[in-house]
Amino acid sequence: MYPDVRMRRLRRSDALRRLAREVTLTADDLIQPLFVVPGSGREEPVEMMPGVARMSPDLLAAWAEDLSVPAVLVFGVPDAQARDETGSAALDGEGLVAQAVRALKAARPDVAVITDVCLCGYTSHGHCGVLTDEGEVDNDRTLDLLAGMARAHAAAGADMVAPSAMMDGQVRAIRQALDAAGLEDTAIMSYAAKFASAFYGPFREAVHSAPGFGDRRGYQLPVANRREGLQDALLDEQEGADWLMVKPAMPYLDVLWALRAESLLPIAAYQVSGEYAMLKAAAARGMLDERQTALEALLCIKRAGADAVITYYARQACRWLSEERGG
């Protein structure tokens, strides 16, 4: 105890602080999400997410050229007229995401491509699965569609598929479909603990996927329930997930920390659109230092147990980190 113990002794110089540092953030920890639209030559900024744009597949090779993160996470954003009741365009082996995967793999075979597997961007009603006559999301009928979507992505060359619809049994259904198609080497990153969060707001603008009626509380996790989140994540592990994910990240660090203690699988945390938009908005008004707060948020997510962080800041963070090393 003080005065015998003085914690500040080890904080006195940069050298001493560097020696005692427990976690470090590097480019290797980051996954860059990316939104793909049909057509060619299309690049549309997402208003609510400054620095993020939707792009057509032909632009991806140039976009990926100087990418220094190990992985990207691809979201398909079909045009409104391509959406229907069951999200059938999602299963197209020559569809938007398949084209994006091929383009990325051709340009940068060294970058891992992960694809989001969910129907919400493809259904006319904006829910993550097909509906029953009563207008509820039909879990079991949705499983086949998610499996078909994952198979299309994997066949196009995706390294991992990332189911995010929060249907029960989706990891098992996808694993079985991939194995049956001879795609047993494609990994599954499960959005295992995905909460019914209001922090997804800006993303729904980016992909036009806000549900046309109701909300997602019938399938995504209740925000108050950590134990339920852990149970759901551990079930995904039993179903054959190779990676688990906690989403959102910063308001859910307790879930991340607890899951870290319960599983030996690698765990990703998703710093979602609302977390990004908050930092951007505050920085734009001079309320926060963007670089310092963004890097702090990412580092703290890692400290709480994430092996990788999915973040719209991935590219920018790599630049900031290499400047820090240089200077």
- Which position among 105, 247, 280, 302 bears the catalytic label? 247
Our CB check for ligand PBG shows the closer of 200 and 313 to be: 200
- The number of C-alpha atoms within 13 Å of 171 and in the hemisphere containing its C-beta is 24
For residues 122, 128, 133, 138, the Cα torsion angle rounded to the nearest 10 degrees is 130
Query: SS3 helix, strand, coil % of the chain, rounded to 5?
Result: 45, 15, 40
* Shortest separation between residue 134's beta carbon and ligand PBG, angstroms: 21
Our CB check for ligand PBG shows the closer of 88 and 170 to be: 170
The Cα 150–Cα 119 span in angstroms is 11
Q: Residue 63 interacts with ligand PBG (CB under 6 A)? A: no
In what helix (H) or strand (E) does residue 244 lie, and over which residues does it extend? strand 243-247
* Shortest separation between residue 4's beta carbon and ligand PBG, angstroms: 49
Touching ligand PBG, residues 115-174 (CB under 6 A): 116, 118, 120, 128, 164
Our CB check for ligand PBG shows the closer of 64 and 119 to be: 119
Token pair for 37: 């639209």
Least Cα distance to 229 among 176, 200, 190, 266 occurs for: 190
Known active-site residue 247: yes
* Shortest separation between residue 248's beta carbon and ligand PBG, angstroms: 7
* Shortest separation between residue 200's beta carbon and ligand PBG, angstroms: 4
How is residue 320 annotated by DSSP?
H
Count of residues that bind ligand PBG according to CB under 6 A: 11
Binding piece for ligand PBG, criterion CB under 6 A, among 199-207, 228-236, 260-268, 286-294: 199-207
* Shortest separation between residue 66's beta carbon and ligand PBG, angstroms: 23
- 3-state DSSP call for residue 72? strand
Known active-site residue 302: no
Return all residues near 278 (Cβ < 8 A) that are at least 6 apart: none
x-marked contacts with ligand PBG along 89-118 as a string, rule CB under 6 A: ---------------------------x-x
How is residue 200 annotated by DSSP?
G
Our CB check for ligand PBG shows the closer of 31 and 230 to be: 31
- Which position among 105, 194, 280, 302 bears the catalytic label? 194
Q: Residue 273 interacts with ligand PBG (CB under 6 A)? A: yes
* Shortest separation between residue 196's beta carbon and ligand PBG, angstroms: 8
The Cα 216–Cα 69 span in angstroms is 31
- 3-state DSSP call for residue 101? helix
Distance of CA 190 to the CA centre of its chain: 10
Near ligand PBG by CB under 6 A: residue from 200, 243, 252, 320: 200
Our CB check for ligand PBG shows the closer of 5 and 224 to be: 224
Least Cα distance to 121 among 210, 209, 57 occurs for: 209
Token pair for 311: 């973040």
The Cα 6–Cα 187 span in angstroms is 48
Our CB check for ligand PBG shows the closer of 178 and 269 to be: 269
x-marked contacts with ligand PBG along 216-245 as a string, rule CB under 6 A: x-----------------------------
Amino acid at 248: P
* Shortest separation between residue 309's beta carbon and ligand PBG, angstroms: 12
Our CB check for ligand PBG shows the closer of 57 and 76 to be: 76
Backbone φ and ψ of 188, nearest 5°: -120, 120
| Residues forming the site for ligand PBG (CB under 6 A) | 116, 118, 120, 128, 164, 200, 203-204, 216, 272-273
Residues marked as catalytic: 194, 247
